A = this chain, B = another copy of it.
Amino acid sequence: MSDSGEFVQSLERGLSIIRAFTRDRPQLTLSDAAAVTGLTRATARRFLMTLETLGYATTDGKNWRLTARVLDLGHSYLASLGLPEIVAAHLEGIAAAVHESASAAVLDGGDIVYVARVESRKIMRVQITVGTRFPASVTSMGRVLLADLDPAEAERILSSSERSIFTPHTKTSVSDLMAEVSRVRESGYSLVDQELEMGLRSVAVPVRDRSGRVVAAINVSTSAAGSPRETLENVLPALRVAQTAIDEELRSLVR
């Protein structure tokens, strides 16, 4: 890079090596790693050796894998967020009250990222863990988080999102989504019905810090049996109770 005043290329490269490991590529040869990241073999090798030295990767002499130490990096984020500790008990309370899965997520770009999860029963096809991402536009928590943004900012995020079609119910029009976000802003909750996955319905509410800013959303996900109205009546009370309790804990934090 022409101006090395503010960017460290080696850090970008190193992080790209870590990200090269996926569910479909749980282990990589040196040549794989070079190919996936676009680095030269010698460069990729140096980064893998460095990750090994630091304890983040291991090799059997041919195949490289990440180690659990990589979780420390994400743990730095979760620890610094402070939120998962606070919401965990409340999500359990919700799950116990309504017998459904409850989660918390934050907004990151055009995605929501799960930061806490209590699974009561499996509705979704994909496994959700801390770190899992979904598009904000088609999730109840995403719409709640977008609702707290300045409308121009929300529209910018929606416009620049990919807005894939997941089901025949998926809303993709920016104007439809903005109208929905406005409704969420008015009502204080979001209900999304089979837009991300057929058979899946979820309801979310925001949680706020002492400044009133929305720092996360919490939700309940349930099957799409029964009417949306019945679902709302079943789960919104428990979400509201948890929301109030979490808001109070966030307000009382010395930070």
| Residue from A45, A50, A132 with most neighbouring chain B CB atoms (10 Å) | A50
Q: Which residues of B sit under 8 angstroms from A5, Cβ to Cβ?
A: 46
A160 an interface residue at 8 Å Cβ cutoff?
A: no
Of B7, B27, B75, B113, which one neighbours A49 at CB under 8 angstroms? B7
A55 to B67, CA, bound (A): 23
Range class of the A interface residue count: 35 or more
A19 to B115, CA, bound (A): 18
A6 to B43, CA, bound (A): 9
Whether B66 contacts A119 by the Cβ 8 Å rule is: no
Q: Which residues of B sit under 8 angstroms from A106, Cβ to Cβ?
A: 68
Q: Copy number of this protein in the oligomer?
A: 2
Which chain A residues in 132-180 approach chain B with CB under 8 Å? 132-133
Whether A7 contacts B46 by the Cβ 8 Å rule is: yes
Of B11, B45, B116, B131, which one neighbours A72 at CB under 8 angstroms? B131
Whether A51 contacts B11 by the Cβ 8 Å rule is: yes
Nearest-neighbour CB distance to chain B for A166, whole angstroms, equals 20
Whether B15 contacts A73 by the Cβ 8 Å rule is: yes
A92 an interface residue at 8 Å Cβ cutoff?
A: yes
11 contacts between A and B (CB under 8 A): A7-B50, A8-B46, A11-B50, A19-B73, A21-B77, A21-B79, A69-B108, A71-B130, A75-B130, A88-B129, A92-B121
